[in-house]
Amino acid sequence: MKLLVVGVSIFLSLSTVAEAGGAPPPRMPSAEGQQEQSLPATADPPAGEQEMFMMPSGNIGCVYTPEGGTAVYQPQDGGPELACDIVAPRYVRATLGRAGTATLDHAVGDPSCCSAVQVLDYGQTWSVGPFSCLSERTGLSCRRDDGHGFLLSRAQVSAN
């Protein structure tokens, strides 16, 4: 019985520590009426390195993989590739590769959304390689230079 009490006490202590030091709460949206902004212009990520960002709500996160992939992941068509996951109302992954239409995966085998350090605030645009994404309060829209893309929001998930 003493062991059970000690175990529960340790569990509660660790839970409190985890909550205090866990992931930060979602960032609050920027003020209304703010003009559209873009993230600071940066060069494409170094070859073989992915770039990640997420929405302020924490509900959508994206991973850009450069042409040639990484040491642990190779896009099916050789890249570049943009894959974005939405968590709610149900988990879906939208992927946009080098060519062709965007695809939607409703049965993601490796859900891993959303813990990127870089937050794409509402009204900001992210752009690397042939891809660009616009973060809005209503969702995230991404497209490739040729016009193919996807929309992820709580109200709608679509790809073309």
Closest to 55 (Cα-Cα) out of 151, 158, 147: 151
d(CA 46, CA 57): 28
For the cut 80, the answer to whether the pLDDT of residue 126 exceeds it is yes
Long-range contacts of 111-115 (CB under 8 A, 24+ apart): 111/85, 111/87, 112/85, 113/54, 113/60, 113/61, 113/85, 113/86, 113/87, 114/54, 114/55, 114/58, 114/59, 114/60, 114/61, 114/85, 114/87, 115/23, 115/54, 115/61
Quickly state the pLDDT bin for 145 (edges 50, 70, 90): very high
Write the pLDDT tens digit of every residue in 74-91. Answer: 998 999 999 999 999 999
d(CA 152, CA 140): 5
Backbone φ and ψ for 94, nearest 5 degrees, come out as: -105, 135
The pLDDT score that the predictor gives to residue 116 is: 75
Mean pLDDT, all residues of the chain: 79
Write the pLDDT tens digit of every residue in 11-61. Answer: 333 333 333 344 333 333 334 444 434 444 445 555 679 999 999 999 999
